[in-house]
Structure 1
Amino acid sequence: MIESTQNKHIKWLMGIQKNKRQRNKEKLFVIEGIKIVEEIPRDWEIDSVFVSSSFKKENEKLLRELFLKKDIIIEVSDKIFDKIADTTTPQGILAVCKQKTFTLEKVITKRNGFYIVLEDIKDPGNLGTIIRTGDAAGVDGIFLTKECVDLYNPKVIRSTMGSIFHLPILIDIDMDELIKQFTTSNVSVLSAHLKGKRYPYDCDLKAGIAILIGNESSGIKDTTAKKTDILVKIPMPGKAESLNAAMAAGILMYEVIRQRVNC
């Protein structure tokens, strides 16, 4: 059992948690909490699992069921776990998982595919919520531009509630290359925009569609807007001038679902 923060395993773990460069270099990320750990697919590669001594004592059967490879489980004292945990009320378990990589050609394949594109989203909570909503809506893939918040930021991971394991997410995407691939695959790109003339429910969204959501403050770039097939406006009869990015994404996603369910 590890009882010191100076232990090499603890130092390594904290580097993965707090340092984006180290995470990406080693192609790893950290998840915390029993609910999200239980969401890890059986075929997803896990590097290691850290558990508090109390958690291990109370959940030995569960640990055996979840992790057949016992050599990946590292026990630490309750005091040390409280220090390495990223949450205010630690549950006693976290896992270091391998990042997965995907290609545009292998993700954009469905005849009537449904995709989400995020340009320069900065807030971890927004990104995590959009991923979770996209998972619930059954999207076929999510694409993040290079300027988006780090997908593997612990706050993003926590906000996804396990949805990060359920659908392909591509990072550091070049927008021109992505739009070219959409065009080749007959996927239209739709975005909410100040210049939008139609409401989303006036558009036919049953064919291949990619919903584009821009930066929380400035929206999508003008250069991107010019390449977008459909610009829409979301009705806002109240006094607020704009919607939260995750809320706007959810509204547009579920308009796609409404049309496809009713077709």
Structure 2
Amino acid sequence: MKQVRGLSRRSVRRRTGRVLVEGPQGVREAVRFAPDRIRDLYVTAEGAQRYAEFVEPAREHGVVVHETSEEVLAAMCDADTPQGTAAVVDWAPSTLASVLAARPRLLVLLSHVRDPGNLGTVIRGADAAGADAVLVSDGSVDVTSPKVVRSTAGSIFHLPVVTGLDIGATLSALDDAGVRRLAADGVGERTIDEVDLSGPHAWVMGNEAWGLQAGTRDACDEVVRVPIHGHAESLNLAMATTICLYASARAMHA
């Protein structure tokens, strides 16, 4: 129990190379897309019946399934209500080189994102929009934190997530790979409805509080804004990113 609970600390996750996945959505997707990486699956008696759709396939795949009480599960988990199941999974980080080698069409690069819910929601939105990967700069919240993993609702097992990237070097690598860099910022002269989104490109998104630094905007091929038609001062980072990604998906599938 202490070992699983310890995964709420970044130092433990780094030392062990494991992450804690809480709740049925995340555990189900881990079973579906990364069963070989699951170390242990924990489930309550009620959860074993309710979530048989993935508990039984996990057992058949050789995953060790531990039946536990709700109290013990709650003590192991970071979430107040883990909803009857959790799993310990080996973390498999991706690299920028492998992402670019696959000749991506749609990427999102997050610069110094600090809120766990925002990062997790961006990963989920990128997955839904059909993005090829999510790139995360150094100085950002840890993608393996339980709050981020929960917020992805299992999407963290669907697409590559590259972390710890230097923004300048990454922008240069994208340029070398023929990927246009579109800075999403309110100072953009053109909106997402006016820019060409048909070719390979990456949306570059800034920090929740201060947005993109001037040097980062200047290093991009174009600065694009999301139009605001009402009186809102701005959009939440995750919301703005999802809007941009879906504009790209619409252009690519037109």
Normalising by structure 1, report the TM-score: 0.88
Match in the other structure for 2:159: 167
Instruction: Specify the SS of the correspondent of 1:31.
Output: strand
CA deviation digits over 1:75-97, x for unaligned, max 9?
Answer: 33332223223333332211000
Percent identity between matched residues is 32
- Paired residue type of 1:201: D
Q: Which runs of 5+ in 2 are unaligned?
A: none
Specify the code of the residue in structure 2 equivalent to 1:35: Q
| Distance (whole Å) between structure 1 residues aligned to residue 198 and residue 119 of structure 2 | 25
Distance 1:43 1:31, change over 3 A: closer
Please tell me the residue identity of whatever aligns with 2:101. Answer: T
In the alignment, the residues of structure 1 paired with residue 234 and residue 228 of structure 2 have an alpha-carbon distance, to the nearest angstrom, of 8
Aligned length: 252
Corresponding letter in the other structure for 1:39: E
Q: Mapping of 1:209-248 within 5 angstroms?
A: 209-248=201-240
| Residue equivalent to 1:5 | none
Partner of 2:6: 15
Give the secondary structure class of the aligned counterpart of 2:190: coil
Q: Which runs of 5+ in 1 are unaligned?
A: 1-9
Task: Give the 3 Å change call, closer, same or farther, for CA 98–223 of structure 1 in structure 2.
Answer: same
Tell which structure's C-alpha radius of gyration is larger. Answer: 1
1:201 paired residue among 193, 208, 215? 193
Instruction: Quote the Cα distance in structure 1 between the aligned partners of 2:212 and 2:52.
Output: 49
1:182 aligned to 2:174?
yes
Aligned mates of 1:71, 1:234 — CA distance in 2:
45
Tell me: CA distance 1:42–1:215, structure 2 relative to 1, closer, same or farther (3 Å): closer
Q: How far apart in 2 are the matches of 1:256 and 1:147? A: 27
Aligned to 1:66, what secondary structure does the other structure show? helix
- CA distance 1:70–1:240, change in 2 (3 Å): same
Other structure's SS at 1:67 match: helix
Equivalent AA in structure 1 for residue 29 of structure 2:
E
Partner of 2:137: 145
Picking from 45, 48, 64, the partner of 2:40 is 48
RMSD: 2.1
- 2: CA distance between counterparts of 1:61 and 1:169? 27
Whole-angstrom CA distance in 2 between matches of 1:97 and 1:71: 11
Larger CA deviation: 111-120 vs 57-66: 57-66
CA contact (8 A) 1:38 1:66 kept: no
TM-score by length of 2: 0.91
